[in-house]
Structures are given as structure tokens and as C-alpha cells.
Amino acid sequence: MASLMKQALDKKFSRKAFIGWSAALTTAAAAPAYGLKKIDSKVAAEKLEEEGRWVSASCWHNCGGRCLNKGFVVDGVVTKQKTDDTHEDSPDYPQQRGCARGRSQRHQVFGVDRLKYPMKRKHWEPGGGKKELRGKDEWVRLEWDEALDLVADELKRVKENYGNKSIIGASRLINHYGGALVRWGSSSSGAWGKPQQHMAANLSWGGSDRLDWRNSKLIVMWGSNPAWSNGGNPQYNLMQAKKAGAKFIFVDPFINPSVRSLDAEFIPCRPGTDTALLLALAYYMIENDLQDQDFLDRCTVGFDKDNMPEGADPKENFKDYVLGTYDGVPKTPEWASEICGTPVEKIRFFAQEIGTTKPMIFQSSFAPARTHRGQQFCQAFLTVGWMTGNVGKPGAGVFTLNYARNQSYGGKTLVMPGGRGLESPENPLFPGLTFGAYDGYRFAAPTRTDFHGMAYTETYDAILNGEYTATVRGKVPCDIRMIWKVRPGSGDNFLNQSSDIPKGIKAFRKLDSIITNDIVLSTISKYADIVLPATTEWEKEGRINTGNPEAIFIANKVTEPLFEARTEEWMEVELGKRLGISEETLFPISDKQQFFNSLAGSQVIQDNGEDYEPLVTITKEDIDEWGVEGEPQQGRIDLSELLEKGSYQVKRSPGDNLGDIKGKAYVDDPEGNPLDTETGKLEIHCQILADEIAAYGFTTIAPIAKYEPPLEGYEDTFENYETKEKGEFPFQLVTLHYPRRSHSVFDNVPQLREAFPQDFVMNKRDADERGLKDGETVLIRSRHGKVIRNLFTTETLMPGVVTLGEGAWVDLDEETGIDRAGATNMLNGAHNSGQGEEPWNTCNVTVEKYDGPPLKADKYWEQRVIF
């Protein structure tokens, strides 16, 4: 067969030609000799079956799931996909099946809008050129050498004139080149980090083993919608718990698809007011003596005045705060209902249920903590959960579920990859800090004077105003000139995914240079100066992906790099040559060796549930064939079989030795197994938490859970809260994970745009009051920006609450300042809070009919095709 890929890559591409080619490759594979002759499609399909092969390629996106993905590769092109068919599906041993996004990856990898060549903004020149044209300038194609010379020269210029701290970014190269300004804070997990660390010694991160969830009688899901936000198996596992007899209660502003699929009791609660609801639950339980006093006395400190940590003011106990003993405000269901919107009877019902049903799982997602003053929710959630005593027992638990572990998985890690063998270089500007996730590190250490960077939420103000908050030490000057995003794992689209895009664009237009690598023209690259075309994971040597603790997934190389795309490692090596940093220094071992190391070091748990053994059998022939260094070893599965199968999943059955009850050892013997907290116990009163949050220099909290209205919460929707006179921004916006995207990834895929329209959702009664109709285009404004979208009305969302899926790629009308795509960060403000959590679920907006032309459906929008 003639080489499809070669014909395609040799071709001079007009957009039309590429669409034709791409469609031919990715739809039905009906033209094996593309464009040469007509052929019957059935015959063509059979021919392709003979000529192609299935390659396992795990989905690589940061969605919350982790699934097996297989591509049928014909001459380097994936013509169809399938998911896990490696074994029969069963509840105990479920297939790891992908969602619509993962199954659309071929449209992403082979899409018409892949970046094909290095390019620069026409009016950029060293120092910035016409900075105001960022985002609307023309693009000029560059040769690779030209692009690399420009980038290396600009890095040198900025470093020599302004120093490394004028660069925001992280990569191996930049750390070897003197480092850069790192940023800290919390996006995904909201405010959970520090409360978990100091109150619970991280005992409540992640859940117990998924099979144990079937022992529960009641499962509370707070702010959770796994059917949308955790693709893959989590919802399936919850259905097994339901089948086994568990009742479900969901707390949310939205009767979401998970509520309906689990036939759950629904407790409505306004965004950012969850703390008030939790305090009322505590009040009811105390009044009715439903708290597990024995558990509180044995395993916690701070619940009441008789059980306070040493040195704490006895009046600062939680029980007296809830009862209003000293502040005169009992936190009754009536008090809470006015704030959170939950009917009083529902609050009493809910409190009665959690106070009397055992065993119960009380779990929260990260979403309710993605608010201004998010820590207060975390404090209240843990405290009320602990009041029920559901810790360390079968079918019980008080959990915050981490997306990477997959909601309702939890438990021990049963199989894990080995290290890749590549050490991370230290950032010389921040001692002890190595290149890793995000820009550098998740949370600043406010007590160390040499260890602070800038909060994510303060980035744009820092660029515009020349200073940022160096934790409790106050403001420090800065002169930020460059954004550097050439790093492994393209897709750090932070201009789109951080709050306050309008301010972000202003800040971007002040800088000297913005360099990115990307696979498509995502928002950050659209506003950049030089963009380098990167390979997708399907064009790399391979890696092992993890997430589900029961399985690992192989991402094999599927095809050669498309067009002139290169790996980020290649880019850094080529830049290193120009900056005097050797390949040996940057990447002392090859990608292939790294992949091999990871496979060879993989471990799997033994049947005793304690010890681990090597997973992969590797022969001398394997090592020779790979051309790598290594030793033969005996494992459970042959290397070639693992690579072909694409995953290794540990088989489970109820009663096996592989389960785990979180916190059991501590609860059985708190004195013998003290926790790593200040007191060795679970801390309802936690002074070190309050001190550390204060030290960040943003907002403060009390050592116990208290309700204080957040910025842009429910209270701020009023002009006058006492008289209930609404203000200019009367609605509360919640920003949901939406099945069309994994954060902002996949927003460019037309098939997903068609399946999941980006509608703006509001309660039908709210819409009727404003004369707004389903399907018409509405203008949504906040204090920070404005978007237009088509309206979808429903009775399943609380009145006063509106929602949009997060992650749409901003599409700005420069004249009006309106974003047509419905990017939620156009509306969200970048408020500094607590430990630098993004306050995505505290945002006030107003909605009106749009007087411009109606929006056409996203699936008809032009894709960002540059060359």
C-alpha cells in the first residue's frame, strides 16, 4: 500500500486539502490509496484490517480517570479506536473502559489544527515588538534552526539584563540555566492541602478500598459528580455499592447526572455556603446527642472544652461555637438555611441520617473547597465527619477523594511503575526545589525565608504592578519579562485555566516574550510570541500511566512525529547546545532507556497483601532488541505481552488480602499509633493550621471551623443583605468539569463539540423572570469579564445559581471584550485566599439577553488552523 503518511506529509497543505486528508484518514479508511482510485468501502475496510494492527496507547489526560485505549494503526495513522477488551468485565474485576474524550484522541492527534511548524508572531522582536498585537497578530513560519536561535538569544537577553527571576517557568533546561521564578498555590484540590496535613495527618486523603464501599449503609457525596468529572470506572464502582444496599445522599447546587443515576437523596446547598450547612448538621447532632462522644474523646482534640489541646483557650472549642455559647449565635438549621438555601426540614433529616446510620462513608470532592476562604469548608467537613465516628471501620470513612486515585477507588497501590531514572535538577533560585509538577511546588513554606515564590492567583497583578506577596514577609518587588513554557507534557494552558483571563491578557501584553510548545494553538499559545510544535504522547517513545491503584497502563508509541513536531526533550537539547548546556547534563539517559527503566522497575503486590515483587519478565533478547542497559529478570508477565495488552490489572475478589481500611490502626489504638499531627490526634482545634494559613499573607482562619462569608459568595449577590435587595450581580456561578473536555484539553475536537454543547445553564424560573428563553444567546457578566453563550434552562439547578463547564478556549472579541466561547475564567476573579487556592466556585454574575447576532453551535466553528 502506498504510504498514506508519506503522501500526507509531502503534500503542500491548504486548510481544505488537510481537512480532506484528515477526514479520509480518520473516518472510514475508505481510501487506502488516497485520491488514486475509487474502491468499495467494504473491500477497503477488509484490506485495512489486513494491513493495520492494534496498538495499546493509554489515554494521557489529566481528567481524573485512567483508561485503556487502543488505536488501529494503518501506515502510521490511527483509523479507529477501542478500549479495554483484555478480559471479561465484572464488578470485581472491571474493564478499564475509556470515555468519549479518550476515544476521540485520534481526532486530537490527527486533527487539522495540529501545529505543524515552528512559528513566530509577525510583529514580535526581541524585547516584545508590538506587544499589543498578542492574540491577534499574524503567524510566520520559521525553520527549526531559526526558531531555536531566536529562543536561545531571547533567553540570554532576558537573563543577562533582568536576571533569572524575571522568567516565569519551569523545565530541566531552565533549572540548569540558573532557574526561574516559581509559583505556588492550589488549583485542583482547592483549599484541602493544609487542613488535611495539619488536622488529619493526611489520613483523609483518598478512600478505603473500593470493595469495602459495598459494606457501607450510607454514602454521602459532597459536591461530587463522578459521572462527569471522573470518567472511567468510578461511577460503576458506586453502582456496585448501591446494588449492595447503600443509600446515597448528594449535597450540591445541581441535581447532577450522578444523583440521578444513583437514585440519591438530594440536599441543595448554595456554592460557598457549605460551611454553614455543616455547622447546622453539627448543631442538630449536638442537640440530639447523636455525636460519637467516645470516638471524639479517644481520637480527636478540640470538640469540647474538656478535650482541648495544650495551651488552647477552652472557650475556642467547636461545640460552644456551634451552640453560640460565647458569640450568641447558635448555628441552628434556621440560621443556616437562610445562608445555604437548604430547607430546614432537609437539614434535620440529613443530620439525623448521618448521626444514626452506621457504617457511613462521608466523602467530599475538591470542588466545595475551590472557593475564597476554602479552608473553612475543609475544617467543618472533617469535624462533622469525625463527629459521626465513621473512621477506621469497614464500610466507613471520612474522605476527600483525589482525582488521581479515581473517585471510589482508594486503597493500597497494588501495582506501580518503576522510576524513569532521570534525576530532577534543582532550581538554583529556590534551594531544595526541583523541577516537577506545576511550576515547581504546590505550597510555599511560609516559615522559610529562602523558600517562597509567587502565588498563581497573584501572577497577573505581579506582572502589571511589579510586586508580589512573599508570604508573611509582605510584598517584594519583581520585574517579570518572560513566560517560558517549553516543558515535557505540553498542555499547561494557564492563561485559559487561571482566574481572570481579561487581566491575564493585559499582563501578557506587557511582557517581553512568551515562548510555548504546543500540539495545537491553545489559548496560552495563541497569545504567545514563539510557538514550537510538540509531539503528542502517541509520537513519543512510551511511558507508563497510573491513577487507578489496581492497574497500570502502557502508552506505546503509535506513530512517528507528525510534520515538524518534536519532543520537548529534543527542543531542550537543541536549545542547550546554543546556551552551553550539554545533552549529557540535560538528559543523561535516552527516552527509550527511561521507558525501559520504568517497565523494569514495576512492582506488583503479592497475595499476602504486604510484599511486592517485580511485575515484568525481561530477557536478554528483550534488552538487546531495545538497545538499552539492563539485566534480565523474572516477573509475572512477559514484556512483549504487557506492551501488547496495554495494561496490567490486579484481579480482585471480596475478602482477598489486598483491601485496606483507612485509619484502622489509629482508631484501634490511638496511643499506640499516634498520628503525625501536633497532638498525635485528629485535630478539630488546630492552631498550627490557623498560624500557617495566616503566614501565607492572604486570608486568615480560626483554629476551629467557623463560617465567614467568602468574597463573591451568596451574601455578595445582595446590595443589602438585611433587606434582601439584590445587587448588580445577583447570581452565583459554579464551574463544572464537563464531559467535553479534560480541563481545557479536547475543546478543539469538533466531534466532542457536537456531542457536548457548551451551554449556559440556569434555573427555568430565573430565566422566566428575566424573559430569557431556551436556546437564545445570553450575555453573562461578572465583576471581571463577560461571555456570551446559548441558554439551557432546567429545574435541576437551584434558583440563583448558574453554571458553565470549565475549560472552553477563550475566543475574545477585542472590540467588545466579550468572549464567545464561554471560558469560565473570563468571569472568575483571581482573589488571593488561604494557601493560594483558586476560588473558582465563588463568583457573582448577572445574565441578560444578548443584543448581538445569535451564536452558532460550536461544532460549526472554524478550527485554529495556522498552516
Q: By CB under 6 A, name the binding residues for ligand SF4.
A: 59, 61, 63, 65-67, 98-99, 101-102, 231-232, 742
Q: Shortest Cβ distance from residue 592 to ligand SF4 (Å)?
A: 24
Helix (H) or strand (E) holding 517: strand 513-518
Q: Shortest Cβ distance from residue 234 to ligand SF4 (Å)?
A: 9
- Of 110 and 729, CB closest to ligand SF4: 110
Q: Shortest Cβ distance from residue 104 to ligand SF4 (Å)?
A: 9
Smallest Cα–Cα separation from 472: which of 457, 451, 456?
451
Bond from prior residue into 359 cis (ω within 30 degrees of 0): yes
Cell numbers standing for residue 276: 454553614
Q: Shortest Cβ distance from residue 744 to ligand SF4 (Å)?
A: 13
Report whether 716 contacts 829 (CB < 8 A): no
- Of 548 and 835, CB closest to ligand SF4: 548
Q: Shortest Cβ distance from residue 806 to ligand SF4 (Å)?
A: 15
Q: Shortest Cβ distance from residue 228 to ligand SF4 (Å)?
A: 10
d(CA 252, CA 839): 17
Strand locations in 538-676 (E): 542-545, 551-556, 603-605, 612-614, 616-617, 637-638, 647-649
Residues 510-524: b if buried by 16+ CB within 10 A, e if exposed: ebbbbbbbbbbbbbb
Bridge-based pairing of strands 731-736 and 119-121 is unpaired
- Of 84 and 154, CB closest to ligand SF4: 84
Smallest Cα–Cα separation from 855: which of 824, 827, 820, 823?
820
Report whether 166 contacts 181 (CB < 8 A): yes
d(CA 272, CA 369): 8
- Of 67 and 269, CB closest to ligand SF4: 67
Q: Shortest Cβ distance from residue 97 to ligand SF4 (Å)?
A: 8
Q: Shortest Cβ distance from residue 22 to ligand SF4 (Å)?
A: 21
Q: Residue 746: helix, strand or coil by DSSP?
A: coil
H-type alpha helices, 293-420: 293-299, 318-323, 333-340, 344-356, 375-387
Q: Residue 831: helix, strand or coil by DSSP?
A: coil
Bridge-based pairing of strands 415-416 and 603-605 is antiparallel
Radius of gyration of the chain (CA): 27
Q: Shortest Cβ distance from residue 96 to ligand SF4 (Å)?
A: 8
d(CA 515, CA 495): 13
Q: Shortest Cβ distance from residue 246 to ligand SF4 (Å)?
A: 23
- Of 232 and 829, CB closest to ligand SF4: 232
Which residue carries 532550581 as its cell?
427
- Of 101 and 210, CB closest to ligand SF4: 101
Helix (H) or strand (E) holding 752: helix 750-755
- Of 166 and 742, CB closest to ligand SF4: 742
- Residue with the shortest CB distance to ligand SF4: 102
Q: What's at 301, amino acid-wise? A: V
Give the burial class of 538: count Cβ atoms within 10 A of its Cβ; 0-12 exposed, 13-18 middle, 19 or more buried: buried
Q: Shortest Cβ distance from residue 403 to ligand SF4 (Å)?
A: 10
Bridge-based pairing of strands 218-222 and 360-364 is parallel
Q: Shortest Cβ distance from residue 171 to ligand SF4 (Å)?
A: 25
- Of 67 and 174, CB closest to ligand SF4: 67
- Of 99 and 482, CB closest to ligand SF4: 99
Q: Shortest Cβ distance from residue 711 to ligand SF4 (Å)?
A: 33
Collect all residues with Cβ–Cβ distance below 8 Å to 403 and sequence separation of at least 6: 62, 63, 64, 188, 229, 230, 366
Q: Shortest Cβ distance from residue 320 to ligand SF4 (Å)?
A: 46
- Of 139 and 236, CB closest to ligand SF4: 236
Report whether 480 contacts 181 (CB < 8 A): yes
User: Which phi and psi angles does 262 have, rounded to 5°?
Assistant: -105, 5
Q: Shortest Cβ distance from residue 388 to ligand SF4 (Å)?
A: 32
Cell numbers standing for residue 700: 486568615
Q: Shortest Cβ distance from residue 808 to ligand SF4 (Å)?
A: 17
Which residue carries 467516645 as its cell?
294
- Of 493 and 844, CB closest to ligand SF4: 493
Q: What are the distances in angstroms from CA 121 to CA 60, 138, 484, 674?
A: 30, 6, 16, 59
Report whether 397 contacts 576 (CB < 8 A): no
Collect all residues with Cβ–Cβ distance below 8 Å to 335 and sequence separation of at least 6: 276, 280, 329
- Of 99 and 290, CB closest to ligand SF4: 99
- Of 65 and 800, CB closest to ligand SF4: 65
- Of 72 and 696, CB closest to ligand SF4: 72
Helix (H) or strand (E) holding 24: helix 15-26
User: Which phi and psi angles does 8 have, rounded to 5°?
Assistant: -65, -45
- Of 430 and 746, CB closest to ligand SF4: 746
- Of 57 and 616, CB closest to ligand SF4: 57
